[in-house]
Structure 1
Amino acid sequence: MTLKLSHKNSKFTFYSRNLLRSLTPRVIYQRRLRYLLNTLNQYDRHDIESRVNYYLKHNTPFELPTDKSVQIKRYRKKGQSAYYYDLKEFLNYFEQQQKVAYRFGDETHVEPYPFLVKARPIGDDNANAVLFKLNKVRHFNFIEDSLSFREKSDIIVWRGAAYQPNRIAFVQQYYNHPMCDVGQTNPCTPSQPWEKGFMSIADQLRYKFILCLEGNDVATNLKWAMSSNSLCMMPKPKFETWFMEGTLKAGIHYVELKDDCSDIEEKVLYYSQHPEAAEAIIANAHEHVHQFCHPQREKLIGLLVLKKYFELSGQWQPGQ
């Protein structure tokens, strides 16, 4: 049976679109801003506002440090082009003199001032880390899975780079386990038996269970895994992105494992024997994914996050 991966992201398409955006006069973006903000009336306002407030938790004015923020007109690409273009797409809609503070990459520490970031620690003290949809070409990859859960093999799969202690310990313990098809993809010198090389998403989807392990921040495979008909298993997440991993509930959206994954055999056996329980969790995972699959709605939320950011930092005037 053929597996369809119709939502696999194309880097060529991503960069081509951003090249076209760079050729569009700024005045056109600014004229469209008011129209796009007015489309809020087409959606559930409470739902949109709750997501905006989740990403930007501040509700009182704040100041941006002069030496840590940059005017939009001085925003330049300095490596990490996917991050640059993802933010640039939205900055195009705002005034050139407005300033933002941001940080690209996998760092997750929280600064003493509000800044835009891809990922942050899950918790109550992360308000200064303002989540934005960054590096989406890599992370926001949703797929269509033509295999049902019951058609798949009773095995858990994982492939990834194993540089962090949690990943190293896991792959070394389970690379040869009969219920697991796991291995690291980073080159080793000398070669190690747990080095198994690349496995495509299509091949991973032939297994009932997909392990999602955090690395420097969130698990990159979590988003496509939750859009599949396989069951996502993972330790309780410690980091979150635009995907709102902090709202995911164990036993509802995914199967929670111990931090050292020592209960992995028990959980695989249970859900292999109780497919109806697995399918209920998979359905809830699909529902969570669904809210991120509407491009115009996602664009509106991103614009509203920046609008709120500029309002609270004193850079957006009523009637603007």
Structure 2
Amino acid sequence: MLITISTAIAFVMAWFLLKVGWSGWISMPLTLIVALGITYVFSRGLTSPLRQMRDAATAMSGGDYTVRVQAATLSHDEVGQLARSFNEMAEELQHADQMRLDMVANVSHELRTPVSALQAMVENMADGVTEPTEANLDSILDQTHRLSDLIAFLLDLSRMEAGAASLEIDAFDFADFIDETVEPLEIADAGHAHDIRMDVPEGITMEGDQDRLRQLFTNIIANALKHSADGTTVLIEAHEGEDEGTIVTNVVNYGSQIPQEARSDIFRRFVKGKAGPGTESGGTGLGLSIARWAAQLHGGSIVVVDDPRGADFEITLPKYHMAQYQGTTVQRP
């Protein structure tokens, strides 16, 4: 369009000047100057987004991800499309940088809390302020377990960020697997008197990585126990899906509910659910996000569904691991 307009203007101007009797030695250079001037003006407007992108890229290389190309909305050609794509990229980079900053702040806080507690308790024992009694040693052990859990969560988080994980697939009885998963949780929960009820039919066989799936169910059930008041019931019930190709498991903690608007946020990293009366608080805020990741590795899903009985986490998993999912290396013994 620019070439066509410049050529047309030059032709009309040369024809007009020759028509009125101007000499070709004067009209042709004058026409050339005007055509070049028009081309320069138009090209400056066309390349303005490119210059803005150059300046924005320079600012982004220095860590400023807030810059945007303002000329992106003024053009619908290829340059305008490029400018809009550049703005979308800048927004993604800004979001990723903010997530990185939030993660560093959250991890620092999560690490500082048990480390500070450990330091205080050990210093008090070293100074003779407190005695190394069984209760004090148990408290130190609890803090070291908390640190160990956080490090394990962060390792899993790094695998999520890398988008890759190795699955060792084997077949197992689902009911036996749930029993083995719940048993250590019952022992750890002894002081809270929760009634863990299980309604899992016998004879269901599924394929999957038991270690990853144990992470999934341990995090979901432990989350239900943590957010249930002492002496209340947590129900684990399972059944085959309508197509008989999936296993649907519901983990319900009676009495508590999760607001509709918070049901997607709780699966985000470092988001912690609010503790209700008589329930525990704290935690890393990584358990549910890791559980969802483990489910997705197996081609499954986790959602919070409406249930009048209480907060209901519904886990849907395929019975047979038929495909290799993106970023997942499948190994069969």
Say which structure, 1 or 2, has more relative contact order (CA 8 Å, 6+ apart). Answer: 1
**Structure in which a larger fraction of residues adopt helix:** 2
Tell me, yes or no, whether TM beats 0.5.
Answer: no
TM-score normalised by structure 2 residue count:
0.22
**Is the radius of gyration larger for structure 1 or structure 2?**
2
